Structure 1
Amino acid sequence: MQRKIYRSLVGVDEVLPIIESYRPLVPLGVVELPVSEAVGRVLAENVFSPLNYPPYTRALVDGYAVRSDDLVGVYEDRPRKLRLVGKVSTGETRLVTIGRGECVEVSTGAVVPYPADAVVPVEYTHQEGGEVTFYRSVARGENVDAAGSDVAEGEVVAWKGTQLTPTLAATLAALGVRTVKVYRPVRLGIVPTGNELRQPGEPLEYGQVYDSNSTMVYAYAKLAGAEPKVYPRARDELGEVEEVLHRALDENDVVATIGGTSAGPEDLVYRALSRLDPGIILHGVREKPGRPLAVALHGEKIVFSLPGFPMSCLLTVNLYLLPVILRLQGVSPQQLPRRRAVIATPLRGEAGIRVFVPVILAERGGRQAAFPLPGHSGRVSLMVLVDGFAVIPENLEYAPEGSELEVVLNPFQRAYRVNIIGSHDPLLQSIVASIPEAGEVRVVNVGSLAGLQAVKSGVADIAGTHLLDPETGEYNVPYVKRLGIRDAVLVKGYKREQGFVYRKEVGPVSSFAEVIEGGYRFVNRNPGSGTRVLVDHLLEEEARGKGVDAAELKERLKGYSFEVKTHEAVAYLVSRGVADVGVAVRYVAERYGLGFTYLASEEYDLLVRKESLEKSAVKRIIEALRELSRRGDAGLKGYIVGPETGSIIEL
Structure 2
Amino acid sequence: MAERKIYRKLVAVDDVLPTIEKYVPLEPLGEVEASLQEAVGRVLSRNVYAPTNYPPYTRSLVDGYAVISEDVAGAYEDRPKELKLVGTVKTGETVLLRIGRGECAGVSTGAVLPYPADAVVPVEYTHARPGVVEIYRSVAKGENVDPAGSDIAEGEVLAWRGDIVTPSLAALLAAVGVSRVHVFRPVRVGVVPTGNELREPGERLEYGQVYDSNSYLVYGVARMLGADARIYPRAPDVLEEVEEAIHRALGENDIVVTIGGTSAGEEDLVYRVLSSLDPGLIIHGVKQRPGRPLAVAVHGRKLVLGLPGFPLSCLLSINLYLAPLIAKLQGARAHESRYIEAVVPVPMRGDPGSRVFVPCVIVERGGNYTAFPLAGHSGRVSALHLVDGYLVIPESDESLPSGSRARVLVSPFWRPFEANVIGSHDPLLQEVVAGLRSRDRVRLVSTGSLAGLQAVKSGVADVAGTHLLDPETGEYNTPFLKSLGLEGVVLVRGYLREQGFVYREDSVSSFSEVIEKGLKFVNRNAGSGTRALIDHLLKAEAGRLGVGFEELRERLQGYTWEVKTHEAVAYLVARGVADVGVAIRYAAERYGLGFTPIGFERYDLVVRKDSLGKQAVRELLDGFCSEGRRRASETRGYAVDSAMCETLEF
- Give the aligned partner of residue 312 of structure 2: 311
Match of 2:327 in 1: 326
Cα distance in 2, alignment partners of residues 416 and 252 from structure 1:
38
Give the aligned partner of residue 592 of structure 1: 591
Distance of aligned partners of 1:620 and 1:153 in 2 relative to their CA distance in 1, 3 Å threshold: closer
Letter in 1 for 2:478: V
> What SS does the aligned partner of 2:296 have?
strand
- Residue deviations 1:332-362 (CA, integer Å, cap 9, x gap): 2221222211122221111011111111122
Paired residue type of 1:315? L
Letter in structure 2 aligned against 1:566? T
Q: 2:168 — aligned with what?
A: 167
Residue of structure 2 in register with 1:265 after alignment: 266
Instruction: Could you list the structure 1 runs, at least 4 aligned residues long, displaced by more than 4 angstroms after superposition.
Output: 628-633
Deviations 1:45-67 (A, max 9, x none): 01111111111111111111111
Please report how far the alpha carbon of residue 631 of structure 1 lies from its aligned counterpart in structure 2 after TM superposition: 5.7
CA gap of 1:632–1:325, structure 2 versus 1, over 3 A, is closer
Cα pair distance change 1:419/1:630, threshold 3 Å: closer
After TM superposition, the structure 1 stretch with the greater mean CA deviation from structure 2, 176-185 or 127-136, is 127-136
Q: In the TM superposition, what whole-angstrom CA distance separates every residue of 1:387-410 from its partner, at most 9, and x where no partner exists?
A: 111111111221122111112211
Question: CA contact under 8 A between 2:432 and 2:628: conserved in structure 1?
Answer: no
In structure 2, C-alpha distance between the alignment counterparts of 1:54 and 1:545, rounded to whole Å: 90
* CA offset digits 1:13-34 (Å, max 9, x no partner): 1111111111111111110011
Distance change (3 Å), C-alpha of 1:624 and 1:96: closer
Distance 1:104 1:433 in 2: 58
Cα distance, 1:632 vs. partner? 9.5
Q: Label 1:318 to 1:630 Cα distance change in 2 as closer, same or farther (>3 A).
A: closer
SS of the residue corresponding to residue 152 of structure 1 reads coil
Deviation at 1:640, TM superposition (A): 1.8
Question: Deviation string for 1:413-456 (max 9, x for gaps)?
Answer: 24422211111112222222233333332111110000001111
Instruction: Give the direction of change, closer, same or farther, for the CA distance of 1:229–1:181 in structure 2 (3 Å limit).
Output: same
What SS class does the counterpart of residue 79 from structure 2 fall into?
coil
Three-state SS of the structure 1 residue aligned to 2:134 is: strand
Q: Deviations over 1:533-589 (max 9, x none)?
A: 111111111112222111111112111111110111111111111111111112212
Call closer, same or farther: CA 1:422–1:632 in 2, change over 3 Å. Answer: closer
One-letter amino acid of the counterpart of residue 639, structure 1:
Y
Cross-structure match for 2:198: 197
> TM-score, normalised to structure 2's length?
0.97
Q: Unaligned regions of 5+ residues in structure 2, if any?
A: none
Number of the residue aligned with 1:207: 208
Q: Partner of 2:633: helix, strand, or coil? A: coil
What is the aligned partner in structure 2 of residue 563 from structure 1?
A: 562
Matches for 1:15-164 after TM superposition, within 5 Å: 15-164=16-165
Is the alpha carbon distance of 1:259 and 1:100 closer, same or farther for their aligned partners in structure 2, counting shifts above 3 Å?
Answer: same
Quote the Cα distance in structure 1 between the aligned partners of 2:619 and 2:63.
48
The whole-number CA distance in structure 1 between the counterparts of 2:551 and 2:243 is 52
In structure 2, the residue matched to 1:398 is 399
Residues 452-494 of structure 1: per-residue CA shift (max 9 Å, x gap): 0111111212111111112222211111111111111111112
- The answer as to whether partners of 1:493 and 1:603 remain within 8 angstroms in 2 is yes
Tell me the distance in 2 between the aligned counterparts of 1:445 and 1:514: 31
Contact kept in structure 1, 2:495 and 2:632, CA below 8 Å = no
Q: CA deviation at 1:629?
A: 8.6
Letter in 1 for 2:526: P
Range with bigger deviation, 80-89 or 369-378? 80-89
Q: How does 1:604-619 map to 2 (within 5 A)?
A: 604-619=603-618
Partner of 1:178 in structure 2?
179
1:62-85 CA-partner distances (Å, limit 9, x unpaired): 111111122222222332222222
| Cα distance in 2 for residues equivalent to 1:203 and 1:332 | 44
Distance in 2 (CA, whole Å) between partners of 1:294 and 1:193 is 14
- Sort the Cα spacing of 1:633 and 1:271 in 2 relative to 1 into closer, same or farther, 3 A: closer
CA distance in 2, matches of 1:624, 1:467: 23
State the one-letter code of the partner of 1:79. Answer: P
- Displacement of 1:633: 5.1
SS, match of residue 394 in structure 1: coil
* 1:129 Cα offset (Å): 2.8
Question: How many residues are treated as equivalent by the alignment?
Answer: 649
Q: Which residue of 1 aligns with 2:343?
A: 342
Aligned to 1:493: 494
What is the distance in 2 between the residues matched to 1:628 and 1:417?
Answer: 21
Compute the displacement of 1:517 (Å): 2.1
The superposition leaves residues 78-126 of structure 1 with CA deviations (integer Å, 9 ceiling, x where unpaired) of: 3222222222222222222222222222111111122211111111112
Q: What does the per-residue CA deviation read over 1:151-207, in whole Å, with 9 as the maximum and x for residues that have no partner? A: 111111111110011111111111111111111011111000000000000000100
Task: Quickly say closer, same or farther: Cα 1:625–1:64, change in 2 above 3 A.
Answer: closer
Matching of residue 373 in structure 1 with residue 405 in structure 2: no
Task: Find the residue that maps to 1:22 and give its secondary structure.
Answer: coil
Structure 2 SS opposite 1:311: helix
Query: Which whole-Å CA distance do the structure 2 matches of 1:224 and 1:621 have between them?
Result: 36
Counterpart Cα distance in 1 of 2:158 and 2:28: 22
Within-5 A mapping of 1:504-519: 504=505, 507-519=506-518
Task: Determine helix, strand or coil for the equivalent of 2:28.
Answer: coil
Q: Distance in 2 between matches of 1:289 and 1:635?
A: 45
Greater CA drift, 363-372 or 163-172: 363-372
- Shift in CA distance, 631/270, structure 1 to aligned 2, threshold 3 Å: closer
Q: Which segment drifts farther, 352-361 or 562-571?
A: 352-361
Q: How far apart are the structure 1 equivalents of 2:290 and 2:134?
A: 77
Residues of 1 paired with 2:76 and 2:626: CA distance? 64
Shift in Å, 1:512? 1.7
Q: Quick one: distance in 2 between partners of 1:170 and 1:303?
A: 37
1:294 corresponds in structure 2 to 295
| Contact 1:249 1:255 (C-alpha < 8 Å) held by counterparts | yes
Write out aligned runs for 1:389-538 (5 A): 389-504=390-505, 507-538=506-537
C-alpha separation in 2, matches of 1:242 and 1:629: 55
Corresponding letter in the other structure for 1:89: K
Are the equivalent residues in 1 in contact too, given 2:345–2:458 (CA < 8 A)? yes
Look up the SS of the partner of 1:104 in the other structure. strand
Which amino acid letter does the alignment assign opposite residue 47 of structure 1? V
Give the conservation status (yes or no) of the 8 Å contact 2:488–2:649: no
| Letter paired with 1:542 | E
**C-alpha distance in structure 1 between counterparts of 2:621 and 2:167, whole Å:** 43
User: 2-side partners of 1:582 and 1:294: how far apart?
Assistant: 41
Q: Name stretches of at least 5 consecutive residues in structure 1 with no aligned partner.
A: none
| Contact 1:284–1:293 (8 Å) recurs in 2 | yes
Indicate if the aligned counterparts of 2:429 and 2:628 stay in contact, CA closer than 8 A. Answer: no
The answer as to whether partners of 1:75 and 1:135 remain within 8 angstroms in 2 is yes
Say which SS state the counterpart of residue 16 (structure 1) adopts: helix
**Aligned in 2, Cα 1:560/1:632: closer, same or farther, shift over 3 Å?**
closer
SS at match of 1:276: coil
Which amino acid is the alignment partner of residue 144 of structure 1?
A: V
Letter in 2 for 1:272: V
Q: Which residue does the alignment assign to 1:638?
A: 637
Q: CA deviation at 1:628?
A: 6.6
Contact kept in structure 2, 1:389 and 1:407, CA below 8 Å: yes
Q: What SS is found at the alignment partner of 1:634?
A: helix
Q: Is the CA contact 1:629–1:645 (under 8 Å) kept in the aligned structure 2?
A: no
